[in-house]
A = this chain, B = another copy of it.
Amino acid sequence: MPFTTEDHPGVCAQPSRDSEGFVLNHCMLRVKDPAVALDFYTRVFGMRVLRKLDFAEMKFSLYFLHRAQAGEAVPQDVGERTAWTFAQRGILELTHNWGTEADPAFSYHDGNAPPQGFGHICFSVPELDAAVRWLDANQVPYVKRPEQGRMRDVAFVRDPDGYWIEIVEAARLRGLGR
């Protein structure tokens, strides 16, 4: 073991082989208007829609988004790409229940106001200062700018549905908690 985790409550130090190969594939958020959410995640965060799945009988659509890294190849064949989508890490699934976009009073719950539960998703960026300039250029609203509050190297913005997105630069967090 390269490091110990036994000092944390409840931790199982030797997981069973039964969970070998398990991959944390995605996080699902419901969105009011897919045109608005897809514009935001593809234009500002550079994600791409790997697959859209429509469920006409149940009147919803699912969008699976992915942020490709340099040199990463995504299968062109739709069946292969679907299977590939469900084998990755770091996929964002957006669910659109048809019709919500046409209701001015409709909105989803961000999980940070009561009742609390889900908190946020987080993007790691190569340079926090450059990312802040880019987010500002796109008028993305902040929950907390990096220079506000106690945690100076962390920002929180809101997506169009109000969900919080944390923005961090990995190298600047090396000393966190020490």
* A interface residues, Cβ below 8 angstroms from B: 2-3, 5, 8-13, 15-16, 18-30, 34-40, 42-49, 51-54, 57-58, 63, 67, 69-70, 73-76, 78-93, 95, 108-111, 115-126, 130-131, 134, 137, 150, 161, 163, 166, 168-171, 173-178
Copies in the complex: 2
Residues of B within 8 A of A54 (CB): 177
Contact of A168 among B11, B25, B168 (CB under 8 A): B25
Q: Are B123 and A8 in contact (CB under 8 A)?
A: no
- A173 near B109 with CB under 8 A, answer no
Q: Which residues on the B side are within 8 Å of A36 (C-beta)?
A: 10
Contact partners of A120 in chain B: CB under 8 A = 27-28
A27→B27 contact, CB < 8 A = yes
A3 surroundings in chain B (CB, below 8 A): 74, 76, 78, 81
A115 CB contact (under 8 Å) in B45, B81, B109: B109
Instruction: Give the distance to chain B from A139, nearest Cβ to Cβ, in Å.
Output: 14
| B-chain residues with CB within 8 Å of residue A19 when the two chains form the complex | 44-46, 67, 134
Name, among A2, A9, A13, A150, the residue most crowded by chain B CB atoms within 10 Å (CB to CB).
A9
Known: A90-B90, A117-B108, A163-B117. A125 touches B22 (CB 8 A): yes
